Amino acid sequence: MTKNEKVKYIDSKRLAYYDNALVWWCPSCRTVCANEEVLNDGLHEKCGNRVEKKNLKQWMLRIPLYAERLLKGIDTLDWPAGIKDMQRNWIGRSTGAEVDFEIAGLNVNLTVFTTRPDTLFGATYMVIAPEHALIDLITTSEYKNSVNNYIKATSLKSDLDRTDLAKDKTGVFTGRYAFNPVNKKQIPIWVADYVLTGYGTGAIMAVPAHDNRDFEFAQKFHLPIVCIQDPDVTDHEQKKRILSGNECWTEDGKYINSADSSTGINLNGQNKEAGIALITKWLESKNLGTSKVNYKIRDWLFSRQRYWGEPFPVIHWEDGEVTVMNDNELPLELPELENYLPGESGESPLSNSEEWLNITDKNGRKGRRETNTMPQWAGSCWYYLRFIDPKNDELIFNREKEKYWMPVDLYIGGAEHAVLHLLYSRFWHKVLFDLGIVSTDEPYQRLFNQGMILAFAYESESGSRVSGDLVEEREGKYFHKDTGTELKQITAKMSKSLKNVVNPDDVTSKYGADSLRLYEMFMGPLDVTKPWDEKGVKGVFGFLGRTFRFMSNPDNIFTGQEDAEILKSLHYTIKKVDGDIENLRFNTGISAMMIFINLATKKGRITSDTALTFTKILSPFAPHAGEELWQILGNTNSLSYEPWPDFNEEYLREDNFNYPVSFNGKMRFNIELPVSLTKDEIIKIVLADERAQKWIGAAKPSNIIVVPNRIVNIVI
RNA sequence: GCCCGGAUGGUGGAAUGGUAGACACGCAGGACUUAAAAUCCUGUGACCAUUACGGUUGUGCGGGUUCAAGUCCCGCUCCGGGUACCA
């Protein structure tokens, strides 16, 4: 091996490599970005502007090497199903086979990836991506012009156009044929941009009878369509259309037209599973193909043209060698700059600092530092590990501490990180695990997505949005201030253009931080998207006020024996809040506290023990009010060090249960009965009740269901 | 197109298959006040009654299972999110 070959080989095995790549470039941010950062409409996740493709030398991380591990690990996580699905889809595992097609007149094979090798008999043509490496070789001289023109036209299209025009397929013939390995038939090779260069081998076999895209293409360019699966339809006309290649059949069916005496293969009559197994075995035995797993996930573009970002400790030398700085030369720090903005050139602002940039080694060899910096994900990929031991200046963290704290028990964050931070950091963590640096295979055991808080916005009859400052409310209805037309209240994301942004500072100055906090928890379930409503803040503000006024008034607090009903309610509240905190159901916990305060207010007084206990359960929700009440109630220390109160089941025990009595499932009246009664006793008492007699009348109950401490249902 | 969620009063939302609408907002009426704000009390799904702690109906739509369905099953509709020539 030459030195260059060696470097190339080693680079091909590295997780990180430096290469020319067609990458996403955001002209507004003047930086490149990762696939994961491009939204589905071609906009940059960070700034919302359109991104374009650019060929640049960049750092890449081989996340696909971990695709299988990242996929398998998902099953072990206690994460929302939606996020798990999104990661699975992004990784995009599909199983199939790579099949070699011999190109006529050339001593070269064209390899395709297919998930359905069993449909080889239906492959009537092939398509390669315009960027395919063999395109020049394959194209015959007669077709050079049209193919070159097509390649040029495609390259001018932005990626967005390429997918936008998805409905109307384009393509040209290369003039070349390949042999279908199952029947040795010659099939034409086409170029079309509906085949993508980055997935599989960048070439496909087309089975137009059973694939919509291929069907559409074959119809447009009059390519043969051979049906090889017996369609399971009752409509005779439809069946005829499918069998004659005039309609696409994408469901499964028993094979037909799938045998060839020269190759000796016969799939006819088999089902899909058997067919795939048979053909794969045959392909492998003839050395024509292998089973293969493919992933959608691509290498992760890991450099940006920003000033703020970790610099790569890498030097590019004048002789072409690229070296990594020694450990004792680290950390590499960013230089002070006059101008921090990226230039037009596509190079990072670090290239402006001559002093920092240029370097000479002890042999006088000149070098240049890497000017790209790492993306923000670099920090978020391991911050949770550093948090374990942030002041350690010897090691990333102390191993014992890492063992104690990891994995993260509960991670609360937004769903927008599904295939960004949450995928990236899992990848880093697995690499660190393989290196023996961390002790767990996964970083975040339980993930919880909090819902987005929306705000009210206003919409006119025609559906156009009206800015919040142009709206006035009259008698519960909304009107346009200028035109006076009635508007519809809707909920929408907070945005500057809709002028519906709620500033937490304003809420805090008006109602206090406790109210803000409490309302956010009271609005509804944590994981649900819901609108901010200032009226709701008033509600919890009122609750805090009532609580504070009642508890801080010495006339309401006494020492002695607590009222039984209060005691029961207090212990019920402790139990409820306790469980609700554990399950992140803050809204119902707060509701329980409101019920307690309503009762206490009604009764007029509580013991100081009760007051102190209630203050403890209130304080995680309203820490300011909690702390202040704690001191008003006579303490000098801080409430934050108090242990969480226990509830006592004794106080929760009921002697009676108020049975709902139903007739045919319809609740008619309640009857309070001791919990100690047997079913028969209950039935006896209920039937004797005159209200029951009213509903039964002359009829005779055919069945009576008694569920202890729950319900009585009389079936007539 | 495909994959996930979701749909309950005027509003946000409660409800281990067992009393639908807890709690809160809003609204209505009342108390306090010269008045307002604040606070407190009462009522509040809809409909029919109002002689009654009265009846009917009701959890997006259509079916089903069950003594009993907002909850489970089947088939839809609409809304939100993700993803898409991935072979």
pLDDT tens for residues A268-321? 998 888 999 999 999 999 999 999 999 999 899 898 888 889 999 999 999 988
Separation between the CA of A86 and the C1’ of B2 (whole angstroms): 13
For residue A545, say whether its CB is under 7 Å from any atom of strand B: yes
Q: Is the pLDDT of residue A132 over 90?
A: yes
Candidates A36, A38, A211; CA nearest to A112 is A211
- Domain ranges, residue A131: 94-294
Cα diameter, chain A: 112
Same domain? A595 vs A684 = no
A469 secondary structure, DSSP code: G
Residue A203 within a domain: yes
| CATH value at residue A637 | 1.10.730.10
CB-contacted nucleotides of strand B (7 Å): 3-5, 11-16, 18-20, 22-27, 38-41, 55, 67-69, 80-87
| Domain contains A576 | yes
Last residue of a domain, one of A294, A314, A345: A294
Mark residue A618 as left, alpha or beta (left: phi above 0; alpha: psi -120 to 50; beta: remaining): alpha
Query: Last residue of a domain, which of A609, A634, A651?
Result: A651
Whether A230 and A201 map to the same domain: the answer is yes
Domain count, chain A: 3
Does some domain include residue A697? Answer: yes
- What pLDDT, on the 0 to 100 scale, is given for residue A474? 61
In a domain, residue A629? The reply is yes
- A662: Cβ under 7 Å from strand B? yes
Q: How far is the CA of A535 from the C1' of B43 (A)?
A: 21
Output the pLDDT for position A461: 64
CB proximity A415–strand B (7 Å threshold): yes
Span CA (A455) to C1' (B28), Å: 28
Q: Are residues A123 and A266 in the same domain?
A: yes
pLDDT tens digits, A523-543: 999 988 888 888 889 899 999
Closest CA to A25 of A304, A373, A349: A304
Per-residue pLDDT at A462: 64
* Chain A 13-32 residues in 7 Å CB range of strand B: none
- The domain that holds A677 is classified in CATH as 3.10.20.590
Same domain, yes or no: A181 and A260: yes
- Taking the mean position of all CA atoms in its chain, how far away is CA A466? 31
Together in a domain, A616 and A659: no
Tell whether A626 and A711 lie within a shared domain: no
CATH of the domain at A244: 3.90.740.10
Q: Is residue A321 part of a domain?
A: no
Q: What's the pLDDT band for A343 if we cut at 50, 70, 90?
A: low
Taking only the tens place, the pLDDT of each residue in A11-37 is: 777 899 888 877 788 888 888 888 888
Q: What is the spatial distance, in angstroms and rounded to an integer, between the CA atom of A440 and the C1' atom of B60? A: 46
What is chain A's mean pLDDT, rounded?
A: 88
A565 and A710 inside one domain? no
Q: Which two tokens stand for residue A583?
A: 């399950």
Do A584 and A699 share a domain, yes or no?
no
Write down the pLDDT at residue A477: 63
Q: Measure the CA–CA gap between A418 and A414, rounded to whole angstroms.
A: 8
Decide which of A599 and A48 is more confident. A599
Distance in Å, residue A689 CA to nucleotide B69 C1': 28
Query: Based on the domain organization, do A660 and A643 belong to the same domain?
Result: no
> Picking from A95-99, A378-382, A467-471, which range would have the lowest pLDDT averaged per residue?
A467-471
pLDDT band at residue A162 under the 50/70/90 scheme: low
| A73: nearest Cα among A313, A374, A431, A356 | A431
Are residues A643 and A662 both part of a single domain? Answer: no
Residues (62-121, chain A) with CB within 7 Å of strand B atoms: 81-82, 85-86, 89-90, 92, 94, 96, 112-116
- How large is the ipTM? 0.93
Evaluate whether residue A405 is within a structural domain.
no
Minimum-distance nucleotide, CA of A713 to C1': B67
Q: Name the residue with the least CA to C1' distance from nucleotide B10.
A: A476
Distance A335 CA to B42 C1' (A): 71
A128 and A178 both lie in a single domain: yes
Among A235, A266, A294, identify where a domain stops: A294
Query: Could you report the per-residue pLDDT of A571-624, keeping only the tens digit for each?
Result: 999 999 999 999 999 999 999 999 999 999 999 999 999 999 999 999 999 999
Tell me whether residue A381 is in a domain: no
| One domain, residues A687 and A539 | no
Sign of CA dihedral A143, A145, A148, A149: negative
For residue A119, tell me if it sits in a domain: yes
Give the C-alpha separation, A18 to A284, whole Å.
35
